[in-house]
Structure 1
Amino acid sequence: MRVQANSRSMGVLEDKARARTFYKYLSKVYDRVNTFIWTEEMRAEALSMLDIDAEDRVLDVGCGTGFGTEGLLKHTEHVYGLDQSPHQLTKAWEKFGKHDPVAFHFGDAERLPFKPDSFDVVWSSGSIEYWPHPVQGLRELRRVAKPGSQVLVVGPDYPASTVFRKLADAIMLFYDEDEADRMFREAGYEEIQHRVLRKEPNSPPAIVTVARAPAADD
């Protein structure tokens, strides 16, 4: 099990300025690289863990170039995307436009520019690993989610090799199911469940966590 996120040393990309610079260059090839780690089939399986109605308002936090956004649009027309990288957002705008069918916002996952209880579902894939304060970010996702609604987060699970684990920790946030439980519970979630997905048996694992914001009377 990993050292708890609130006491560990941050990876080099868990810095907002470094992450923006990183994505300035990665955005040029992101859609090609992403398919080696996070596929349409994996995205569909993650989406199957959510209950999304056609009229639901859904927020995609850390939407990047819009890969997760594209999947969400198959379930509802009311999708909002947010990212802190202008270069990633530019790629998303090229696919969807700036305002229709997706309402895109430039912003920080740890300080979301939305009112409390704004969304029926909150989704975030491939973003938490860059958050300097992941529990704070999870609290923000819970804040903007309606009481009792689902929040889904996809992050990188630990590599099997001890050597690669140390390297991974030096770069960004990696975590296992126990650490995901701890972070989500500390952030105030309920009904927490996990699923580990891979493109192929030896591919890098992605950990999908779905949890609920507490109901209004909790």
Structure 2
Amino acid sequence: MGVLEDKSRARTFYKYLSKVYDRVNPFVWNEAMRDEALAMLSIDDGDRVLDVGCGTGFGTEGILQYTDDVYGLDQSPHQLEKAWAKLGKHDPVAFHFGDAERLPFQDDSFDAVWSSGSIEYWPNPVEGLREIRRVVKPGEKALVVGPDYPNSRLFRRVADAIMLFYDEAEADRMFAEAGFVDIEHTVMQAKPGSPKAIVTVARAPEHSEGAD
């Protein structure tokens, strides 16, 4: 487990990163990449959408271009304060302080779930993905953005010591173990030489698909 896959360390990390996050983030995950990913989620007007690990609200702002029924959740109060400053504490987004591995929502609550730049900090990513599958309606999609595994052996060792990095094969394993179907991946990059992001879109099975 990487040092930042510990929840208390991650909160401390984001306490300081929140001060510069919106200036640093575009070098890794910019608006064009976000908008391309959002198009994969096929959000319709009026859909109820959850942003898991919403941080300062960068992904949330994109979701609001499609629907005004948006929920955001994050475990970092410092990141949430930045999101509140941009979007308001209660309107147009219903923000919640909480844990991705214990989502405070009922089963089948959302038409779509989005999560960008969060899974790499989850100590138990499969549990987090199971929670996402639990709250998304049967037959609907979830999209998760995480850091693609580096090609360099040296960078892989460094990456593994910090937080979760994974490739398409590992994403397949995690999403399948969490109960998703129709799993697809797209690797994105802000510019040549910058870190790559892996975007995974998967569907929660219909109840009949899960039957024996």
For the superposition of Structure 1 and Structure 2, which TM-score range results when normalised by the shorter chain? Answer: over 0.9
Aligned twin of 1:7? none
Aligned twin of 2:87? 96
Aligned twin of 1:109? 100
Residue identity opposite 2:79 in structure 1: Q
Q: Choose the corresponding residue for 2:131, options 137, 140, 148.
A: 140
Q: Choose the corresponding residue for 1:184, options 172, 175, 181.
A: 175
TM-score (norm 1): 0.95
Aligned twin of 2:32? 41
Q: 1: CA distance between counterparts of 2:151 and 2:191?
A: 14
Aligned twin of 1:73? 64
Note the C-alpha offset of 1:160. Answer: 1.8
Aligned twin of 1:5? none
Residue identity opposite 2:145 in structure 1: V
Note the C-alpha offset of 1:201. Answer: 2.0
Q: Choose the corresponding residue for 1:200, options 186, 191, 202.
A: 191
Residue identity opposite 2:37 in structure 1: A
Note the C-alpha offset of 1:216. Answer: 2.4
Q: 1: CA distance between counterparts of 2:62 and 2:78?
A: 21
Note the C-alpha offset of 1:51. Answer: 1.2
Q: Percent identity?
A: 76
Note the C-alpha offset of 1:159. Answer: 1.4
TM-score (norm 2): 0.98
Aligned twin of 2:8? 17
Residue identity opposite 2:185 in structure 1: H
Secondary structure of the equivalent of 2:208?
A: coil
Q: Choose the corresponding residue for 1:131, options 97, 102, 122.
A: 122
Q: 2: CA distance between counterparts of 1:44 and 1:38?
A: 10
Residue identity opposite 1:201 in structure 2: P
Q: 2: CA distance between counterparts of 1:50 and 1:63?
A: 16
Residue identity opposite 2:28 in structure 1: I
Higher helix share: 2
Q: 2: CA distance between counterparts of 1:186 and 1:158?
A: 20
Gaps of 5+ in 2: none
Q: 1: CA distance between counterparts of 2:72 and 2:39?
A: 20
Aligned twin of 2:149? 158
Q: 2: CA distance between counterparts of 1:39 and 1:22?
A: 21
Note the C-alpha offset of 1:50. Answer: 1.2
Residue identity opposite 1:166 in structure 2: R
Gaps of 5+ in 1: 1-9
Note the C-alpha offset of 1:202. Answer: 1.5
Residue identity opposite 2:48 in structure 1: R
Ranges of 4+ aligned residues in structure 1 off by more than 2 Å: none
Instruction: Summarize deviations over 1:148-178 as a string: whole Å, max 9, x none.
Output: 1100000000112110110000000000000
Is the aligned partner of 1:174 residue 2:198? no
Is the aligned partner of 1:213 residue 2:194? no
Q: 2: CA distance between counterparts of 1:88 and 1:50?
A: 24
